[in-house]
Amino acid sequence: MRGISTAPFRLHALVNLNHPNHFLQWGWLSISRSNAIVVGLMVVTFMAAVAIPFPGHGDADQEEVR
Protein backbone atom coordinates (compact mmCIF):
# COMPACT_ATOMS: atom_id res chain seq x y z
CA MET A 1 0.00 0.00 0.00
CA ARG A 2 1.37 3.41 -0.92
CA GLY A 3 0.69 6.85 0.50
CA ILE A 4 -1.10 7.46 3.78
CA SER A 5 -1.21 4.41 6.03
CA THR A 6 -4.09 3.91 8.44
CA ALA A 7 -2.25 1.15 10.32
CA PRO A 8 -1.48 3.23 13.41
CA PHE A 9 -5.15 4.04 13.85
CA ARG A 10 -6.26 0.41 13.52
CA LEU A 11 -3.97 -0.79 16.31
CA HIS A 12 -5.67 -1.29 19.65
CA ALA A 13 -4.22 0.28 22.75
CA LEU A 14 -2.81 -2.13 25.34
CA VAL A 15 -5.38 -0.77 27.76
CA ASN A 16 -8.79 0.50 26.65
CA LEU A 17 -8.41 4.27 26.97
CA ASN A 18 -11.71 5.16 25.35
CA HIS A 19 -13.47 6.37 28.48
CA PRO A 20 -13.22 9.34 30.86
CA ASN A 21 -10.35 9.17 33.33
CA HIS A 22 -11.03 7.71 36.76
CA PHE A 23 -9.96 9.99 39.61
CA LEU A 24 -8.83 8.94 43.07
CA GLN A 25 -9.77 11.24 45.91
CA TRP A 26 -8.33 11.54 49.43
CA GLY A 27 -9.69 14.72 50.98
CA TRP A 28 -8.00 17.63 49.22
CA LEU A 29 -5.82 15.33 47.09
CA SER A 30 -7.20 14.40 43.69
CA ILE A 31 -5.17 12.39 41.18
CA SER A 32 -6.09 10.42 38.06
CA ARG A 33 -5.73 6.65 38.36
CA SER A 34 -3.21 6.60 35.48
CA ASN A 35 -1.02 9.24 37.13
CA ALA A 36 -1.25 7.42 40.47
CA ILE A 37 -0.04 4.21 38.76
CA VAL A 38 2.93 6.08 37.20
CA VAL A 39 3.89 7.65 40.55
CA GLY A 40 3.58 4.20 42.20
CA LEU A 41 5.87 2.63 39.59
CA MET A 42 8.41 5.44 40.13
CA VAL A 43 8.40 4.86 43.91
CA VAL A 44 8.89 1.10 43.33
CA THR A 45 11.79 1.83 40.90
CA PHE A 46 13.36 4.19 43.45
CA MET A 47 13.16 1.61 46.24
CA ALA A 48 14.55 -1.10 43.93
CA ALA A 49 17.46 1.18 42.93
CA VAL A 50 18.35 1.71 46.59
CA ALA A 51 17.84 -1.93 47.66
CA ILE A 52 19.23 -4.03 44.79
CA PRO A 53 23.02 -4.40 44.99
CA PHE A 54 25.02 -3.10 42.05
CA PRO A 55 26.55 -6.03 40.09
CA GLY A 56 30.18 -6.76 40.93
CA HIS A 57 29.98 -4.82 44.20
CA GLY A 58 28.10 -7.24 46.46
CA ASP A 59 30.20 -6.62 49.58
CA ALA A 60 29.06 -3.31 51.02
CA ASP A 61 31.94 -3.18 53.53
CA GLN A 62 34.57 -3.12 50.82
CA GLU A 63 36.52 0.12 50.91
CA GLU A 64 38.17 -0.45 47.55
CA VAL A 65 38.03 2.06 44.74
CA ARG A 66 36.77 0.80 41.44
Partner 1 sequence: MTSTPNATNWTGALRRSAERALPPEKLLPESQPSYVASWIYVFGALTMAALGIIIATGFVLAIMGPTWWHHSSTGHFINSMHLWSVELFFAFMVIHLWGKFFMAAWRGNRVLTWASGVVTFVISIATAFTGYLSQTNYDSQWIATQAKDGINATGGGALFNVLNFGQMLMWHITLLPLGVGILVVLHVLLVRHRGVVPPFAETKDGAK
Residues forming beta bridges with residue 26, ordered by sequence position: 29
Binding site for partner 1 (CB under 8 A): 4-5, 7-8, 38, 41-42, 45-46, 48-50, 52, 54, 56-57, 62-66
The alpha carbon of residue 20 and the mean position of all alpha carbons in its chain are separated, in whole angstroms, by: 21
Residue 12 CA, chain-centre distance (Å), reads 20
- Judged by beta carbon, residue 24 or residue 57, the one nearer partner 1 is 57
Residue 15 or 49: the one with the smaller Cβ distance to partner 1 is 49
CA–CA distance, 39 with 18 (Å, rounded to integer): 22
Kindly tell me which of 10 and 19 has the beta carbon lying closer to partner 1.
Answer: 10
